[in-house]
Amino acid sequence: MSSQESSGHRQVRTRAKQACLHCNKRRIRCNVLQMRPCQNCLALNVPCEIGVSKRGKYPRKKSARQQTDGNSVQLPASSAKGGNHSFTVSAGDKSDAKESHVHPIPGDAASAHPTVFFGESSPLTVVIDEGRRSPEKGTNEMHMTRFHYAIPEKLDAFNTRDEAFRAHKIKQEGQLRADGAFSYPPPETCETLLRAYFDWFHPCFPILDCAAVYESYVQGSMSPLLLQAILFIGVSLCTDEVFARTEFSVRYWAKFLFYSRAKAIYDAEWESNKTVKIQALFLLSFWRGGPSEERDIRFWLGIAIDLAQKRGMHLMSKFPFASRREAGLWKRIWWSLYTRDQQSAAALGLPPHIRDEDCDVDMLEPEDIREEAVGGQSHFGVQCIEDLSYPAEMAKLAKLLRSIVSTQYSPLGPSSNGASRAALHQQLRDWEANMPLELKLENATTPRAKFLAGLLHMTYQNLYILLYRPSFLHPPDGDLDSQGQIALNAATKSTRVLEDMLSHNLVQHGSSHLIIHVFLTLCIHTIHFRRTSGTGRKLAEHRARLCLLSLQELQKSWDLENWVLNLFF
């Protein structure tokens, strides 16, 4: 560098007068003024957009600096590094969050230059791509299809020059502040609930980038929406002893407090980071309200899936990513959405939001789940080998769940022959044969391994019950045949898993889908209790009581409806 500066022939004149956003970000030579898309974007099949220079546009930043401290959000101080850290963002600066490091979460790289996703069937792609034909290769030659298109600055809803929008945001912030949406427990409580989240929930649904969350937390720059949603999950899953050390007296009201704060922030459209929105909405889908409440699991999960599809997550195999880390986060988010969607749809007897035929996403792999080590191991824990395998195996079981429900419980009637059932049975056996060793029950020695292996095997046995439940409920000639016996055997194996988890105080921390698995197992044992006699009847009663005990443990975390439990008391 010094040699260039000392010579009389500096390289400045050879640089392009203007570069596209892709090349400018990577500081590479760009020929966008000669051809568009440029050679680099064409080779990588990425959008080639020219940014609007910010040179000379100082009034916008000046306007942001003129915001008073009275319109700022204060996040709790963190002791993760032994010091006090706080985060302040004003409503005037909030719309600039897309260009700052307020939300250092991968997967939202496009937010610096907002884009919109269009699928191949959209007529808008025809109009937009017409200008992308290559003159060198003829008018009939079209570049590879792209899916993300830049939003013109004048159409950006968060344009900071829109004073009306700025005033509205300031008013919204004042209302949120008055309602306590930006209030948090003491740092000690926050860190305790964060640890509960990363101990019990994150291994099951790794939708967060731990390193990014840790960095934003210790810097005090974490998204208020995401933090409130994480605290909601953390206070749901923490142990009774841990909860007793917080300043809350009733767990339900603590959950409702964090849930309502996150909901208020979302309703106010305060959060602009789309990835953070998807993550927070996914967490809010674990709110269990009353049976008549509209904002239930399907409501929040549906919005999260809709936002993910608008970003193109369901077709992520078709476009490149800036880094492996970003691609891994997107895959973890998508497969968590998919798994949760299939589980909730099957549990409620409703169609899923996600259809396999609409998606092109590679199956989740352990390497997609592996994350770099973070400094705050006391709050965020350490990844174990079973943490890498569990989400990937659950995604495979979710695919099998979809196949079972679509063939055996179709509104048009189940498959007319047993071929599909036999094929599904073989797929289940193949999955078990290829199960990672660390997730086998006999190899689970630590509480974490027992917890994840137990959840996985409960899910696996639940698929057998679903597949053969019709044969169990309606046996030919009134006698339980071999296929109906498969459902009963699966329920018996599930109860053994539950008994082991109960003995280690792990059931309470299970995800909400465990409720359905336990309930279905309970139904099988209850029916068998009514049909049999003698020792078999006593065993069925014992197993049913174990299921009831498990539901009572889950009641601590997920607020089961009392009338469900009362059916069996």
**133-152 b/e (C-beta count within 10 Å ≥ 16 → b):** eeeeeeeeeeeeebbbbbee
> Picking from 232-241, 258-267, 368-377, 459-468, which range would have the lowest pLDDT averaged per residue?
368-377
Residue among 212, 239, 222 at smallest CA distance from 187: 222
Looking at residue 492, its amino acid is: T
Instruction: State yes or no: pLDDT of 517 exceeds 90.
Output: yes
φ and ψ at residue 297, rounded to 5 degrees: -60, -45
Report pLDDT digits (tens) over 200-255: 999 999 999 998 999 899 899 999 999 999 999 999 999 999 999 999 999 999 99
pLDDT in tens, 131-182: 455 445 444 444 445 566 665 554 455 555 567 777 778 888 888 998 899 9
Which two tokens mark 491? 């329920």
What's residue 142's pLDDT? 44
Q: Which helix (H) or strand (E) holds 13?
A: none
Range from 96-110, 343-357, 449-463 carrying the lowest mean pLDDT:
96-110
Mean of per-residue pLDDT scores for the chain = 81
Give the 3-state secondary structure of residue 72: strand
- What confidence score (pLDDT) does residue 9 get? 44
pLDDT at 494: 98
**Which has the higher per-residue pLDDT, 9 or 259?**
259
Span 266-295, pLDDT tens digits: 999 999 899 999 999 999 999 987 777 888
pLDDT of 397 strictly over 60: yes
pLDDT for 299 equals 95
pTM: 0.77
Residue 72 banded pLDDT, cuts 50, 70, 90: very low
Can you say whether residue 216 is alpha, beta or left, with left for phi > 0 and alpha for psi between -120 and 50 degrees? alpha
Q: Is 50 exceeded by the pLDDT of residue 61?
A: no
Q: Percent of the chain having pLDDT more than 70? A: 73
Helix axes of 274-284 and 224-237: crossing angle, nearest 10 degrees: 30
Residue 338 clears pLDDT 80, i.e. is over it? yes
What pLDDT, on a 0 to 100 scale, did the predictor assign at position 88?
37
pLDDT at 7: 43
- Would you state the torsion angle of the CA atoms of residues 27, 33, 36, 38, taken in this order, to the nearest 10 degrees? -30
What is the structure's pLDDT at 37? 78
